[in-house]
Amino acid sequence: MSITSDFVKAGKAIFTIEPAQGYIDANARREVEVKPHYTFKVQHKDASDEWPEAWFVNLLSGPDNGSDYTYLGKLVPATGEVRLTTGSRYAEDSQPVQIIRRVLARVWAGDLAAVEAAGWKVHHEGRCGRCGKRLTVPESIESGFGPECAGRV
pLDDT digits (tens, 9 = 90+) for 97-133: 999 999 999 999 999 999 989 889 999 988 999 999 9
Asked whether residue 108 is domain-assigned, the answer is yes
Domain region containing 17: 5-126
pLDDT band with cut points at 50, 70 and 90 for residue 66: confident
Return the pLDDT at 6: 95
Distance in angstroms (rounded) separating the CA atoms of residues 125 and 140: 12
Section 7-35 average pLDDT: 80
pLDDT above 90 covers a percentage of the chain that reads 64
In three-state secondary structure terms, 141 is helix
For residues 40 and 15, is the Cβ–Cβ distance under 8 A? yes
Is the pLDDT at 1 greater than 70? The verdict is: no
Q: Which residue has the higher pLDDT, 5 or 23?
A: 5
Contact 127, 144 (CB under 8 A): no
Whether the Cβ atoms of residue 121 and residue 4 lie closer than 8 Å to each other: no
Does the structure show a pLDDT above 70 at 30?
A: no
Prediction pTM value: 0.88
| Total structural domains within the chain | 1
